[in-house]
Amino acid sequence: MADYELSPASEDGPRGGTSRPVRVGLIVCLLVICIMAIVIGYLGYLVWAQRSSGPTDYVSGIVLGRCLSFTRIARPELRDKDCKKILDAFKSAFVSKDPCSITREDYQPLINLTADPVPCDKSLFWSRSKELVHEYTGIQKEMFTLEDTLLGYMGDGLTWCGDPRTSEIKHESCPHRNETCNSTATYVFWNVISQKFAESACGTVYVMLNGSRDTPFSKASTFGGVEIFNLRPEKVHTLQAWVMHNVEAVSRDTCSGSSIRELKSIVEQRKISFECYNDYRPARFIQCVKHSSHPTCRALL
């Protein structure tokens, strides 16, 4: 075999091996392939679930898929969570049970499997401002609403219940909460995880309220009835409220309004400091992306 003399690489080119841009491209391609494989796996599960067990596996498929995507993609530091066990614990809380008699204890095994602590000063509560608050945390990813935690993400927007006569999960014919049916599976779930979210909060916590409603703060809301009373004064030193007003709507209440004064009184009675800001500027910028021609937004920008 003849020997060949290799000329030295030029100063402008690679000095051997694969060039850095090519390596970066390969890494990106591998990441894309991995993400596609996970997504395809979720879709495959959903198809399998519906074909093998009928339409009642609709909720199971979504809950499992969300658990996997959250713990493998959105929050990979939680990859050690066993989503199959989490799904089983979720179903065991209400499957084959009276849909109006679910207890907090029914969800305790699920809670035990899904610890997802939020860093201090990063808990963001909300009431009647769901769309805006999640637009905000979608950009400011260091802040966490309940729906930005594992259990909140899994259950967001879903309804479910069981029936003593079957082991199937229902989602279309579940009873609504009323005087005779107060402990529905979905209602108890949100109360339990809302309480846990509040109990785990620390440092300064925040709440986004809707000042375009007559009462931005209401004791009938989850925040006013559950979360505010489960903040722990030994861990939380300040509650900061952001009273946001819809750009094209009438401002019905502000930080000086009656319902906010009631909130302030409750908070301070619990030995927590209270602060309030009308139209918190970073969130207002998000609103003005959709209404850039509005006079209040032109003045802001």
Residue 230, both tokens? 């489960």
In a domain, 183, yes or no: yes
Nearest to 101 by CA among 194, 193, 187, 222: 187
In a domain, 171, yes or no: yes
- How buried is 88 (Cβ within 10 angstroms: 0-12 exposed, 13-18 middle, 19+ buried)? middle
Calpha distance 297→5 (Å, rounded):
69
Mapped onto helix, strand or coil, the DSSP state of residue 188 is helix
Give the pLDDT of residue 250: 73
In a domain, 202, yes or no: yes
**What contacts 34, CB < 8 A, 6 or more positions away?**
none
In a domain, 14, yes or no: no
In a domain, 48, yes or no: yes
In a domain, 69, yes or no: yes
Give the pLDDT of residue 294: 84
- If phi > 0 it is left, if psi is from -120 to 50 it is alpha, else beta; for residue 46 that is alpha
The active-site residue, picked from 202, 255, 276, 288, is 202
In a domain, 23, yes or no: no
- Domain total of the chain: 1
Residue 213, both tokens? 């409603």
Calpha distance 216→239 (Å, rounded):
15
- If phi > 0 it is left, if psi is from -120 to 50 it is alpha, else beta; for residue 172 that is alpha
Calpha distance 29→300 (Å, rounded):
42
Give the pLDDT of residue 58: 85
- Per residue of the chain (301 residues), what is the pLDDT tens digit? 444 333 333 333 334 445 555 555 555 555 655 565 555 555 545 444 444 444 447 899 999 999 999 999 999 999 999 999 999 999 999 999 999 999 999 999 999 999 999 999 999 999 999 999 999 999 999 999 999 999 999 999 999 999 999 999 998 889 999 989 999 999 999 999 999 999 999 999 999 999 999 999 999 999 999 999 999 999 999 999 999 999 987 778 899 999 999 999 999 999 999 999 999 999 999 999 988 888 888 777 6
Torsion of CA 20, 76, 186, 196, to 10 degrees: -130
Q: What is the CATH number of the domain that holds 120?
A: 3.40.50.720
Give the pLDDT of residue 261: 97
Residue 101, both tokens? 């008699």
Calpha distance 82→110 (Å, rounded):
11
Mapped onto helix, strand or coil, the DSSP state of residue 101 is strand
Give the pLDDT of residue 290: 86
Nearest to 159 by CA among 94, 92, 227, 249: 94
In a domain, 10, yes or no: no
Give the pLDDT of residue 205: 98
202 is catalytic: yes
CA end-to-end span of the chain? 73
Element (DSSP H or E) covering residue 297: helix 295-300
Domain interval for residue 147: 30-300
Distances (CA, A) of 93 to 57, 87, 96, 153: 16, 10, 9, 18
